[in-house]
Amino acid sequence: MKLLAATNRYYLLLATVLFTVGSVLLYYGVRWTLQSEVEERLFQQRDYLREQVQRTGRLPGTPFEGRMQLSAKPQPEGLRDTLLLEPLENELEPYRQLTFRLQLNGQTQWVSLSKALLETYEVQRLILLLLVGVLGTLLLGVVLLNRWLTHRLWTPFEQTLHQLQGYDIRQHQVLQLPVTRIEEFAQLNHTLTQLSERVAADYATLKEFTENAAHETRTPLAIMQAKLEQLLQLPDLPAPAGPLVGDLYAAVQRLARLHQGLTLLSKIENQQFAATQPLPLAELLREKLGQLEEFMQQKNLQLDVQISAEPVLLMHPALADSLLSNLLHNAIRHNQLGGLLRVQLSATELMITNAGPALTAQQEPAQFFERFRKQNAASESPGLGLSIVQSITGFYGFTVTYGYAPDPPRHTLRVRFGPAASAR
Amino acid sequence: MKLLIVEDEPALRTSLVEYLRQDGYVVEAAASYEQAHEKIKLYQYDCVLLDLTLPDGNGLDVVRTLKADRSPAGVLIISARGALDDKVLGLELGADDYLAKPFHLSELSARLKAIIRRRQFQGQRHLLFQELTVFPDQAQVLVNGEQVLLTRKEFDLLLYLLTHPGRVLTKESIAEHVWGDAADAADSFDFLYTHLKNLRRKLQEKGVGDYIRSVYGVGYKFSAE
């Protein structure tokens, strides 16, 4: 529920209760007042009549606009409501009647004075209508004003919220929040701006550190590699030292590869491959397959290439190359002697299926995309291939899924191109 | 052949200097942009090996100076940055080749030889080793005037061995030189062995001595000894 709706709900509830109670009280109050007025007039007339009768011994004419009835029969004394026939309009109208005893010419007479209530009803209605109207308008006005005000006052908050939703740390931006006169929002914005500044600074530091670390580790690696190579050239290097240095050399190579892979991953995450160009994927795929031909022959793989479309993707050439390389290398490395390697390219997806070792029950397909996750722990590969694939596909809004069919074991990696794809 | 090595890291600089001196070059070294600038203004070099990140300046400015002076020197960039943009910029400015750290010394020397070959021997570009004559640009191998038919990979392999006579070449550097990143697809260096075996057989059929020696646990060596 929106904050506005939540507060309005309580306001409305209170206003409705007050409005109802107020209206009822008003109704009875006005009615009581007007009726008292009528009764007072009746009592005045009675006193006047009594006084006149005492003084003159007879009833005065009809000095009252109201009605007066005389009756010799005893009547219940006091005030009562009654309906009397209005001769002009020939219909019954409400009257207030006061009945009392009067000694007239030695006889006891019962006098009933009546006063029409119709006027008081009209006055009552008018007052009620006016007041209810004013109250209603006031209520409506308050609700509308509240709604408008809230909307206006909360605008800076909504803008802040909107900014936060769109905030991406990788843009290296500090939040640009609107200036507001409301102190609480100003404080909120101030705090958020500070927070984003701190986060942006931390992120920049971290990124700089990663870059520097990447850069600085390259030189020692180069030194190690160069020195080992020099060591191998020594003419009097004892024979047993050869394999030792060879192993060291291979280890340095692995480290260099690992370094390369991690640097690539962090570069993709830092969005350092913004430039794109239209790439004919089918062409690139054929080229890659050509380069890998020997390695497929080495394993005697049955290559099955099905290219049914020539999609052109907007990508950075280095990333497109890395994507295809990693997918194909993965499919060749984990293949068996004489195994199947099927490559299917359509306008919307690339599917690479390879034969390989059967998965055990504990192996979760999602894990293969994790860094350093290897099917064979002793493998020399750094285990970054599929992480890189996932990172690249994620960067371009593609999706990559892993599928496995157990009999015979078939591993399938399916890359679905996103909106960046456009058919030639 | 006179080379200038511009590299601020002393340990790497000495390795480069020693390795290339053994290859028979006259090698000079500069540790900073200032020194490098002075040297290229004063002397002529056949090739400059250039690190891009120097403590007092950008190596790319050295390339700019060389080009502005219309120097005939070849330029091989060795950089720790390895960023694609640096590479593109360096090559656009007129550098001949680019190598990212870490690299194989043998790869560096092969690239250097290729640069010098392209720049110096106009027309007559061939390498001689015993009874072998190799024409790198035509990808031809002659034995006593008779052509040996090799696949592209076998030829690349032979050329790489031939440019490093007497040197121990690691399996890694050979595979990377001939196959590039594609070598990652293999899970062992067996493919290298297969190709070398074929190359050896083809050469021996033409009566070439067996110069390819394997160095146990390390790699191979091309040597007449």
Q: Annotate chain A with three-state secondary structure.
A: CCHHHHHHHHHHHHHHHHHHHHHHHHHHHHHHHHHHHHHHHHHHHHHHHHHHHHHHCCCCCCCCCCEEEEECCCCCCEEEEEEEEECCCCEEEEEEEEEEEEEECCEEEEEEEEEECHHHHHHHHHHHHHHHHHHHHHHHHHHHHHHHHHHHHHHHHHHHHHHHHCCCHHHCCCCCCCCCCCHHHHHHHHHHHHHHHHHHHHHHHHHHHHHHHHHHHHHHHHHHHHHHHHHHHCCCCCCCHHHHHHHHHHHHHHHHHHHHHHHHHHHHHCCCCCCCEEEEHHHHHHHHHHHCHHHHHHCCCEEEEEECCCEEEEECHHHHHHHHHHHHHHHHHCCCCCCEEEEEECCCEEEEEEECCCCCCCCCHHHHHCCCCCCCCCCCCCCCHHHHHHHHHHHCCCEEEEEEECCCCEEEEEEECCCCEEEC
- Residue A115 pairs in a beta bridge with A96
Region of residue B141 (phi > 0: left; psi between -120 and 50: alpha; otherwise: beta): beta
Question: Are B133 and B18 within 8 A, CB to CB?
Answer: no
**Phi/psi at B122 (5° precision):** -85, 130
Q: Could you tell me what percent of chain A has a pLDDT over 90? A: 14
Return the closest-CA partner of residue A417 out of A317, A347, A366: A347
- At A377 the pLDDT is 56
Chosen from A231, A232, A388 to mutate, greatest number of chain B CBs within 10 A: A232
Q: State the Cα angle at B165 between B160 and B167, rounded to 5°.
A: 90
Question: Are A95 and A117 within 8 A, CB to CB?
Answer: yes
Residue in B80, B102, B218 closest to A246 by CB:
B218
State the average pLDDT over residues A279-292: 91
State how far residue B205 is from chain A, nearest Cα, in angstroms.
Answer: 23
Among chain B residues, CA nearest to A250:
B172
State how far residue B113 is from chain A, nearest Cα, in angstroms.
Answer: 18
pLDDT band at A147 (very low <50, low <70, confident <90, very high): confident
> For B176-182, which contacts have Cβ atoms below 8 Å and span 24 or more sequence positions?
B176/B104, B176/B107, B177/B104, B177/B106, B177/B107, B177/B110, B178/B153, B179/A291, B179/A294, B179/B153, B180/A291, B181/A325, B182/A291, B182/A292, B182/A295, B182/A325, B182/A329
Interhelix angle B59-68/B33-42, rounded to 10 degrees, is 20
- At B181 the pLDDT is 83
Q: Tell me: pLDDT of A141 over 80.
A: yes
pLDDT band at A46 (very low <50, low <70, confident <90, very high): confident
DSSP H or E stretch at residue B19: helix B10-22
CB contact under 8 A, B182 and A244: no
Tell the residue number behind the tokens 């397909």, with chain if given.
A365
- At A378 the pLDDT is 54
What pLDDT, in 10s, does the model give residues A301-335? 999 999 998 888 888 888 899 999 999 998 998 88
CB contact under 8 A, B12 and A222: yes
Pick the more confident residue, A3 or B3: B3
- At A360 the pLDDT is 75
- At B21 the pLDDT is 93
- At A382 the pLDDT is 66
Residue B104 with chain A: CB contacts under 8 Å? 225, 229
State how far residue B221 is from chain A, nearest Cα, in angstroms.
Answer: 10
State the average pLDDT over residues A52-63: 74
State how far residue A377 is from chain B, nearest Cα, in angstroms.
Answer: 13
Question: Are B23 and B46 within 8 A, CB to CB?
Answer: no
Question: Are B76 and B50 within 8 A, CB to CB?
Answer: yes
CB contact under 8 A, B217 and A215: no
- At A383 the pLDDT is 75
Region of residue A67 (phi > 0: left; psi between -120 and 50: alpha; otherwise: beta): beta
Diameter over CA atoms, chain A: 164
pLDDT band at A423 (very low <50, low <70, confident <90, very high): very low
Chosen from B22, B170, B214 to mutate, greatest number of chain A CBs within 10 A: B170
CB contact under 8 A, B172 and A253: yes
Contacts of A59 (CB under 8 A, 6+ apart): A49, A52, A53, A70, A104
Tell me if the pTM is above 0.80.
no
Residue B192 with chain A: CB contacts under 8 Å? none
Residue B106 with chain A: CB contacts under 8 Å? 229
State the average pLDDT over residues A57-83: 75
Mean pLDDT of chain A: 83
* Low-confidence residues of chain B: pLDDT under 50: 123
- At A405 the pLDDT is 85
Residue B191 with chain A: CB contacts under 8 Å? 294-295, 298
CB contact under 8 A, A230 and B15: yes
pLDDT band at A203 (very low <50, low <70, confident <90, very high): confident
State the average pLDDT over residues A172-188: 79
Contacts of B185 (CB under 8 A, 6+ apart): A292, A295, A328, A329, A332, A333
Among chain B residues, CA nearest to A336:
B187
Contacts of A424 (CB under 8 A, 6+ apart): A280, A310, A311, A312
Region of residue A249 (phi > 0: left; psi between -120 and 50: alpha; otherwise: beta): alpha
Interface contacts A/B by beta carbons within 8 Å: 116
Question: Are A382 and A254 within 8 A, CB to CB?
Answer: yes
State the average pLDDT over residues A295-306: 90
State how far residue B110 is from chain A, nearest Cα, in angstroms.
Answer: 14
